A and B are shown apart, each in its own frame.
Chain A
Amino acid sequence: MPLPTARPDDPAAVLHSSPPPRAGAPTVLKIVIAGGFGAGKTTAVGAVSEITPLSTEEYLTEASADVDSLAGIEAKVTTTVAFDFGRLSLPDAPMPLELFLFGTPGEDRFVDLWYDLSRGAVGAVVLVDTRRLESSFTPVSFFEDIGLPFVVAVNQFDGAHRYHPEQVRAALELPAAVPVVTCDARDTNHVAGVLLALVDHAVNSVATINRAGHAPSTTFQDA
């Protein structure tokens, strides 16, 4: 036999028959897409994802506020939260990369989930439907509070009034540094552009933090 089959009890055989040496699994980076009900989160995830967005459930357990703590019995309330998941690979990046996209509703009962999603993430896209602007307030203040870079993307629905991005910025009281863009969440090139805007903004945020933490003489070193 020219090609011996791998036997688990023979480490050498396993090594030789393994696929070409792998540099390791692709590096995974997370991006959060938050928005109110119907703002187009699933559509946006689906526009760039290589898989049909998966609806995923998680239980959140919280201590119930209005219960006497008798005999050490912990009364807890369990609620179910659902979010969307999509992924895409970037095969032509300088290193193997995969982006994980998490579409999550903008209600404050999702805050525990947002902490999980935001840990180590590139940043977040807050997807806005101008007809329900108020549903963007909670995610905007959450990402501001935890210092996660985010961009606001106004999803332009057919027939809806088109507001200027600056009007949206004023209504959401966003700092000048937060990019506000308009997009069609169904359009792959639009959503890809929003992701690029987010990554760009994340780079600027890192640079700002670095500058703030360095002595003035080193300020321009990595310009």
Chain B
Amino acid sequence: MSTYGRAAEESAFVRTYTVTRGRTKPRHLLALETVLEAGQGRPGPAQAEECEEILALCRERRRSVVELAGRLGRPVTAVKILVSDLLDADALVVPLTHPYADTGAGSGPSVQLLAAVTAGLKRKWPDAVAYCQAG
């Protein structure tokens, strides 16, 4: 990378961590796909303006960490740090997922869950190309 490119990247990095007030690690264990919804609490004063944006987005519908990062144009880690603040203030909550989601740690989805995906995809796109010849 050129000296300029490196400097530009570092500058973006510094700006990002101004938003999180220097913190580089989120307090909560959040995955990219963790879904959040607005809660009853209010964020404390002196929060980054990005927190208001996050809350506004989550009031519209449930949003995942990855979607919030994409919409805010901020790196995922920075968004996780802000989301952690909002979770602590109960301004965001992690909704309960359908009990069927129980897939066991570290492994992939169950056959039942996969069958539900197949059924859902076929109903959504009845004209989907059929690539699979039985088996």
Contact = CB atoms under 8 A, between A and B. Distances in A.
Nearest to A187: B129
Nearest to A52: B70
A58 B76 contact: yes
B127 A189 contact: yes
A28 B116 CA distance: 12
B37 to A, nearest CB: 7
Secondary structure of the A side of the interface?
mixed
Interface in A67-124: 78-80, 85, 87-88, 90-97, 99-100, 102, 116-117, 119-123
A121 B108 contact: yes
Contacts of A120: 103, 106-109
A171 interface: no
B75 A26 contact: no
Given A29-B109, A122-B109, A122-B114, A196 B62 contact: no
B23 to A, nearest CB: 13
B69 A24 contact: no
Interface residues of B, number: 56
A199 B121 contact: yes
B121 A90 contact: yes
Contacts of A15: none
Nearest to A57: B75
Given A120-B103, A181-B131, A196-B132, A28 B35 contact: yes
Q: Chain A, interface size: which category?
A: 35 or more
B123 A200 contact: no
Given A27-B97, A28-B97, A93-B119, A59 B108 contact: no
Given A29-B113, A95-B100, A203-B111, A57 B76 contact: yes
A195 B45 CA distance: 45
Interface in B90-135: 95-101, 103, 106-111, 113-125, 127-132, 135
A138 interface: no
B114 A25 contact: no
A201 to B, nearest CB: 8
A153 B111 CA distance: 23
24 contacts: A14-B40, A24-B99, A25-B95, A26-B98, A28-B97, A29-B109, A29-B113, A55-B70, A56-B66, A58-B77, A59-B77, A80-B9, A85-B70, A91-B120, A94-B120, A116-B32, A120-B103, A122-B109, A189-B125, A193-B128, A196-B130, A197-B131, A203-B111, A206-B110
